[in-house]
Every structure is written in C-alpha cells, then in structure tokens.
Structure 1
Amino acid sequence: MAALRLLCSRLGLRARAGLSGGARGRPAAPGGCACSLATSARLRVQLYSDPAEAVKDIADGATVLVGGFGLCGIPENLIGALLKTRVKGLTVVSNTVGVEDHGLGLLLRTRQIRRIVCSFVGGNPLCERQFLAGELELELTPQGTLAERIRAGGAGVPAFYTRTGYGTLVQEGGAPIRYHDDGHPAVTSKPREVRELGGRHFLLEEAITADFALVKGWQADRAGNVIFRKSARNFNEPMCKAADTTVVEVEEIVDVGSFPPEDIHVPSIYVDRLIKGKHYEKRIERLTVREEEEEKPRDDTRTRIIKRAALEFEDGMYANLGIGIPVLASNFISPDITVHLHSENGVLGLGPFPLKEEVDADLINAGKQTVTVIRGASFFASDESFAMVRGGHLHLTMLGAMQVSKYGDLANWMIPGKKVNGMGGAMDLVSSPKTKVVVTMEHSTKAKEHKIVDKCTLPLTGKQCVNRIITEKAVFDVDKMKGLTLIELWEGLTVDDIKKCTGCAFTVSPNLRPMQQIAA
C-alpha cells in the first residue's frame, strides 16, 4: 500500500483506498466543495462547485486581498458570492475599486466594506462620495509600493525601504483616511520612518498580509497550479502568496500534467481553494478602438503638445506613458524607430489601440483601455512591473500634472477634500533618478490659473523629479538647483507672453528656438 501511495502521488492520481479526506490531516471540505467528487492530486487544494461555499467562512471584519486591475482580471464569481454571504466590515486590499455597478462597487453599494487600501479611485464616484462623506476609510498607497507590500507579505519580509513617496504625504503623514461628516479629517496617515542609504532617502513600508485572497486565473489544473492570461495577471499573482487562505476562480480546470511545468505562473503551494467560475461578464471599463483609416489629427492644443512630446522618443527606448495626453504621443512614434512601451499593469511592448474585431478584455493598458501588443511583447505581474520602474530600467516616463514647481516638484494626484483620484503608479514612476521624467500638460488651468509655479500648493507626487515640461506654449528644462530654463517657444508667442502665464521666474536659453513638432 505504501508503494501504491508513492506511485499515485507521482502520477497525480488517487489510490482507491485510504487516500480520501483533507490535506495534512484537515477534515474534508464543506458541502459545496467538490472534494466529495475529487480532491487535488496533492490532497491539499480543495475544489468547489459553489462560490458561496468557497467564501462562506470569511468573517465580518476580515481582511481580503482582491485581484484585478480596474475590471480586468477581477474574481467576478467570488465577489458575487460575498454579496450573498452578506459579510460586513471588510478591509479590502485591491489596486482599484471597480466601478459603481460592477466589481468591488457592488460591495460598496451594499456597505459591506469598511476600509479600502488601494492606489486609485478614479472610475468609481461612489467610492469617492462615501469617502468624502465619512462613510468609508480609504488608505491610498502608491501602486508599486502596494504591489511590493503584498509581495513582501507573501515572502515573509515584514518591511522594506523604498524611494517611492519620499517628500510627499506618504512619507510625511497627514493624508486623510477617514473624514468626519462635517468634512474634517478624522483619521490621517502616519509618518514613515526615513533612512539615508547611499546618499539618498528612503522610507520604510510594512508588508501586507490578509486572511483571504480572492484571485482570478485563466486555467488551473486539479493540483492547483495556475496560469493567467495576458494582462489579467496584474495583482492576482502576488496576492496568491500573501493570504492565510487563497481562493482562485478560473475559466477552466484541467487534468494534472496538462501544463508544461515551466509554463505555470503560480504553483499549487500558494493555492488553497479552486473553483471554476460559471459566468464571466468580463466587462471592459474603457473600450478604445481605432479605425481602419485613421482620422487626420486635428491642429489643436492637445495635438500640439503630443506632437512635440513625440520628439522625446529614441530608438530602442523603454518608456512609460501616463493616462491622457502622454499615451496619445505613441500615435506619433516615428516608423523609423522602435520604442518599447511599458504599462504598470504588467505589459512590455504595447501596440496601437485594437480594431473592433481585435478587442480583448484580458488585454488593457494602465488607463484600462483596450490595446494590442507588438511582436516580442511580454506579460508579467504587477510586482515585476514595478521592479522595472523603481529599478531605473525605463529610460523615459511621460505623465500629466496639476502643478509643477520651478525646481521640478510634481503634483498630480489629489485635491484635498474635493478630488480623490489616487496616485496610481505615478509616485513610483518618478522615483528613480535614472529615468527621465517629462511632464506634458496645458500651460494653465481652464480658469487661467498657473500650473507652473514657485511652489506646489497641492499634495506632491514627487520632489525634484521633473526633467522637462512640455505645454502648448513652451518647453522648459528643469534644473533641481537653478530652476527653469525656457528652451522652445511656440511660433507667434514672445518671452513676455510666457512670463505672463507662468507662475514663477525662469531663465531664457541663449539657444531659444521655435517649438519643434514631429511630422504627422
């Protein structure tokens, strides 16, 4: 019998006698568990047929990791199951918070969530309203820091130092986490410990672990080995490793041995419960397509900025483009060069927006838009993505701004008490001195207020991190000690015109030239 046990374990089979029951002496799974039908090959991963049974022991007040990026790769069936169990007082850790009527937005509507730890709220006005009304605690965390805190939790690393967030509210503390109903902060973030290493300052971030992780995979075998599809890997992969109990829902469960071992993304050791989802809406948050015949670009303010920004690209460059104006600059990359576009959600080698028939819900960019990839592209998890960012492996990052100071301080993530977007990955993207940071934005606000200022009055995204500013009127180089130098000027404008619409002093380059534009 011992020999039979050994043979069965190697072949991924179950002996007919003496091998039933739970793993490691645990009792068999509850009624909805398909363990009564078949346990995993290792007698550890429990297979469920009912998602509500898979999560019914998540208790009030539990901490739950929820995978996905926007709506891409979210565990739809498990979220729906939580609605049925009516569990309350949850602390949810997730990169984003879905939309009002899908994903985590459904749990917000039923007020089952007490606290959210995330990097970005934009796209869910309900979350913003509940937070500003004092009905919800919201801890905003830089996206790369969030991914690394989860990775560290799964690796047994209690804390780590990072450059991300130094000189901002993340380091200084005081960011609102919960408001009184009169609009005054009731709970604020605590300051981080700072340490100087190698002449630079880093702040201490603590790891995140949870009671449960709810994860969406593409395929799994009955042993619990999991494979993700395209950009749906995102936060799902690191979250598998950071919870006491990891519940994975997939679109297909296959026999043990169906995957080549080298193709497995998450090995079974990290998976406790497995279920095949019965229904997937796979809603697309920002459906974005291109036409067979592209429209001729308009000669407007945004296009002027974009066509100048495109001149920042160089052959062979690895670059990250932020939401809005920056990402549109990719439309003007010269066909004579190759630029490898990186996306925080785990893509390297972004291509153009898809044609209508090419749309894939599992393939989005960091702005949650549908995209394609170029030949030679790769997919990876969010913690890997931000290792590329913080490690200085990107040559260029281009992003928008609410304000930029004359010494390169950047503010682009919140207006306290009014607008709560979240910082997303921006704080990480500007944290490495090896990466050139270019801001593309309109020169002034719609109310004609200055956006280029002596000192930022909004909470900072990064301190002394911007290298160049491109607007529809001018281009400035930024020196972290000397301030701004005007290097290009739009045709028809004078230096005096720029002084009137700029909220700080600047020097003028002796080689001042007309503002350049890439050929359409």
Structure 2
Amino acid sequence: MPSIVLSLRTAGHLARNGSKPHTLLRTFASSARRSEINKVYSSAEEAVSDVKGDSTLLCGGFGLCGVPDTLINAVKNKPSIKGLTAVSNNAGIVGSGLGLLLESKQVKKMIASYVGENKVFEKMYLTGEIELELTPQGTLAERCRAGGAGIPAFFTPAAFGTIVQTGELPTIHNSDGSVAQYSTPRDVKVFDGKSYVMEEAIKGDYAFIKAWKADKLGNLMFRFAAQNFNGAMARNAKVTIVEAEHIVEVGEIDPASVHVPGIYVDRVIQATEPKNIEKIVNAKDPAEALNSLGSGDAASKRERIVRRAAKEFKNGMYANLGIGMPMMAPAFVDESVEVQLQSENGILGLGAYPQKGQEDPDLINAGKETVTLRPGASVFGSDESFAMIRAGRIHMTMLGAMQVSARGDLANFAMPGKIKGMGGAMDLVSNPEKTRVVVTMEHTDKKGGPKIMKMCEFPLTGKACVSRIITELAVFDVDFTTGLTLIEHAEGVTVEEIKSKTEAPFKVSESLQVMQQ
C-alpha cells in the first residue's frame, strides 16, 4: 500500500506539471514493479533448470556445515549437468554433500583445500578420474572474495617456499597412479623484505549457498559457523542460487543483521534436506578426555605432551589450535589464564564440546567436531577469519607435525601416496614474525624414525615458521638462522637419548631443566 500511495503522489505531481497520461502510467507501473521484486522460486528443480554443464560451480560449506544439500541433490537428479568445475573447501563425504556429484561423475575438476576422509574422491584423484587443484584454505577464501570484488589477483604470504608456489602439486594422475600433470608455478614478489605468492581470483558461473534466513529480495542471514565460505561465494557468481531454512517477509531481517545484501542473490528456494553433523564430539572431564589419547605407553607420552603444551598459553592470548593433541591442551590451562580460541572456519571465542543431546550442526570447529561458544564469542566468514590470521592477529597457533627441520620448516599435510590437503595450515604459519607457531608431536614416527630432521623429507607446509617443538622427550626452541636449542627434557630422559632419536643437531641450553608439567 505505501508504494501505491507514493505512486499516486508522484502521478499527481507530474500531472500538475503538465506530464502526459502515458507518462503517468509508465511512472506508476515502474513504481509498482519495484515492490514486486521476488527472487523466490517454487523448487530447487526450477532454480537449477538452466544450469549448464562445463561451468564453474561455487559451493558453500565447511565439512557438512552450511552445505546446500537441496541444490546439490537437484543437480544430481539432472545427469545432463556434467563436466563441472566445483569450488569448495572440501568435497563432502561419501554419500553426502558434493560427494554425491563426485560419485555421479558430474564433476571433472575440484578446487579445494582439503580432501579429508572422502575415500571415493581420493581414489578417483589417484587413478586419474578427476582433476584436483589443492589450494590453502585462506587463499581459497580470498580467491573467492576477490573474484566477487573485481580484483583479478592478489599477493599472499601463505604457501611461499612450498610445492604450491613451485608448481609441484600433482593435479591429474594417470590410471596407474603416475602423475600426468602438475600445478602451475606461482609468481613471487617481495614487499618490505618478505616474499609473497601471487594468486588469481576465482570467478564462478553459479554459486550454491546455504542460508539460515532469506527474504524475497535476496537478503541473507547465516547462523553461527554455517557462514564459512557462503558469504564470499554468494558475492562472486554470475548466478547465485540460495537455499534458505527460513524464507521470511521483507523487513524481518534487521538491516544490521544482513550478512549478504540481496543485490548479490538471483534465486532463493526453500531448503528441504536435513542438516547433518560429520563428527559428534561431547564434553568430557579431563580424565575422560585423556582416555582418547589411547592406552598404555602411547597414552602416557601424549598426556605428557598435552600437559606441557598447556603451559604455552598466556593470559589474554588469542590462539588457534589444530586437531588432535592441541585441542586437548586448554583443558589443562590454569584457571587464572583466560585465552580466546579462534577456529578458522569462522569462530572467535570457541567453547568446550557440547553435552550429549545439545549438539548444534551449525557449531563445529576446524576439525568438523561439534563445539559450543563462550560468552562474548563472535562468528564471521572464512575470508575474514583468514584475514585476521594472515595479519598476525592470532598470537599463537599450536598444531601437529609429521616432520620439523632444524631451521623450523614444517611438514604436516602430505605423505607419499596419500592425499588429504593442507586445509588452513599454510595460512596459519605464514606470519611467524607475529604468530608464534608451536608444534606438538611424538618424538619419533611409528617405526622409530626421527621426526625432527636436518631437512624435511615430506612436502613443506611452511618454511622457517616453527618457534617451539614439544615432544614427550623434550622441548626445543627454534632459531630460524642458528637452529635448535634443547631447553627442557622429560624426567628420566637423558640428553644422549634425545640425541639418538633426533636427526637434527642441537645445542643444549645452559639453563636446561626438567620438562614442566
């Protein structure tokens, strides 16, 4: 009704100033149409009816959180849509998410940061059935954001000195597993004495987005960690198609709560698929938590590492933790120490695991595990999450490793014959001048071989980035120029034993002490 009143007022004004009747009608019709913008489609099938094969499809989601399953299923039911280049943080799992389009052979290429536990995808990649362009998670988020912002390329510190930068990542295999094609080397430029890698923006033909709320104008609101890649991708594509849990009236979403303005959105449909959780993890007291470290001698070693790692947290610190032992360390932090935990999928103020029955599919950490939020927490998209990471706003990142070199090089994402992806690790270690990198790991591998090496044998996650190494035997400080210094040893462990299990040479601190617990 307000728009009609406005139109009549406008028509009266024009008539008084001598406008002709047909001008009045056009003015009225134009004003009325403004109030009739409606981007809501009746079904997913209708919304994807003109999606073409051999297109670039951006697909929001992280793990199974914020994944547009309704739209993915609609494409799966249209086998004529094939030859897709799918861009997503990961490729879903077997039987869910983008995993469905991989199984139906509708995707010819994936651009992702993490393959994860999708064995179907891994097999297809290693036998030449699909092309894979692995890219660091923060770089992927920024490539999507840049593509939507009209920026053709940018420079990032992430991945300098790794096989991403040098172009040694296999992208296509032959059927016998041999490499048919490698990635493209990246240009490097030095700014203020530091090397940066040039990455090109990704431009999407279509974007499939999952929102919590949408109105018929296309304004979107996300819920908790379900924002992840959805916001950056929604702004990118030529055609953005959104499935929303709730389609609301215009005005129901507070203007200050609109995460994506409707100008970026072309179509909206009602989500019909249930939300899934990849890894349900519930709260445990410290004693129960330690049970997950295993049993016997192995559990004892890991407990020693975790308890020592807890001493690294300082009051007021912002920290990012990798999966496994680092995630357990906060349980042993003294109560007088308050730390804000960041999760790269878009959470600051990460809380404990939820009680049984209180799991929320929109609240997961970077390991896809169910979590809670602490009072005062904030949530945001993956592009903003990695902006704060690359800028050095995170004081410390603690993560595991396969190998660390004498000069602090880190290898923790790839082994020969296996593929998982680097996830966010390359970004997390890209600013060691501002973000302290602490590695927690067992001192030797399963065969008893050393993991602290003169030079890493596995592909690097980052060069000269690790500041401290904590194992069950020792704690080392790392100088990127002079090498390792042993500063602590476990009770009952001699320097000679540590030397016998460490390939890299090291100095012994004059103030060497027994490991803190």
**TM-score, normalised by the number of residues in structure 1:** 0.91
Residue 29 of structure 1 is matched in structure 2 by: none
Residues 287, 369 of structure 1: 8 Å contact kept: yes
Residue 120 of structure 1 is matched in structure 2 by: 114
Deviations 1:88-110 (A, max 9, x none): 11100000111011111111111
- Match of residue 265, structure 1, among 237, 259, 266: 259
Letter in 2 for 1:461: T
Residue 51 of structure 2 is matched in structure 1 by: 58
What is the deviation of 1:291? 4.3
Unaligned runs of 5+ in 2: 11-24, 292-298
Residue 146 of structure 2 is matched in structure 1 by: 152
The answer to which of 179-188 and 437-446 deviates more is 179-188
Q: Distance in 2 between matches of 1:213 and 1:342?
A: 27
Q: Distance in 1 between matches of 2:124 and 2:326?
A: 31
Q: After superposition, where does 1:469-484 map in structure 2 within 5 Å?
A: 469-484=469-484
Q: After superposition, where does 1:198-237 map in structure 2 within 5 Å?
A: 198-237=192-231
What is the deviation of 1:237? 0.5
Letter in 2 for 1:425: G
The answer to which of 158-167 and 51-60 deviates more is 51-60
Letter in 2 for 1:424: G
Q: Distance in 2 between matches of 1:408 and 1:19?
A: 69
What is the deviation of 1:497? 0.2
Residues 495, 3 of structure 1: alpha-carbon distance in 2 compared, 3 angstrom cutoff: closer
Q: Distance in 1 between matches of 2:61 and 2:76?
A: 18
What is the deviation of 1:327? 1.0
Letter in 1 for 2:344: E
**Are 2:277 and 1:284 aligned?**
yes
Residue 174 of structure 1 is matched in structure 2 by: 168
Q: Distance in 1 between matches of 2:69 and 2:501?
A: 49
Residues 157, 503 of structure 1: alpha-carbon distance in 2 compared, 3 angstrom cutoff: same
Letter in 1 for 2:455: K
What is the deviation of 1:336? 1.1
Letter in 1 for 2:241: V
Unaligned runs of 5+ in 1: 11-16, 25-37
Residues 227, 265 of structure 1: 8 Å contact kept: yes
Q: Distance in 2 between matches of 1:18 and 1:239?
A: 37
Q: Distance in 2 between matches of 1:40 and 1:440?
A: 59
Residue 441 of structure 1 is matched in structure 2 by: 441
Q: Distance in 2 between matches of 1:407 and 1:296?
A: 33
Q: Distance in 1 between matches of 2:5 and 2:109?
A: 47
Q: Distance in 2 between matches of 1:413 and 1:420?
A: 8
Q: Secondary structure at the match of 2:459?
A: coil
4+ residue segments displaced more than 4 Å: 5-8, 17-21, 38-42, 291-294
Letter in 2 for 1:477: D
> Pairwise CA RMSD of aligned residues?
2.3
Q: After superposition, where does 1:113-512 map in structure 2 within 5 Å?
A: 113-280=107-274, 282-291=275-284, 295=288, 297=290, 300-416=300-416, 418-432=417-431, 433-512=433-512
Letter in 1 for 2:340: H
Residues 430, 465 of structure 1: 8 Å contact kept: yes
Q: After superposition, where does 1:58-137 map in structure 2 within 5 Å?
A: 58-86=51-79, 87-137=81-131
Q: Distance in 1 between matches of 2:28 and 2:153?
A: 40
What is the deviation of 1:183? 1.8
Q: Distance in 2 between matches of 1:322 and 1:488?
A: 23
Deviations 1:106-134 (A, max 9, x none): 11111111000000011211111110011
Residues 304, 220 of structure 1: alpha-carbon distance in 2 compared, 3 angstrom cutoff: same
**TM-score, normalised by the number of residues in structure 2:** 0.92
Letter in 2 for 1:263: S
Residues 77, 278 of structure 1: 8 Å contact kept: yes
Number of equivalences: 493
Residues 166, 328 of structure 1: alpha-carbon distance in 2 compared, 3 angstrom cutoff: same
Letter in 2 for 1:431: S
What is the deviation of 1:278? 2.2
Q: Distance in 1 between matches of 2:66 and 2:505?
A: 47
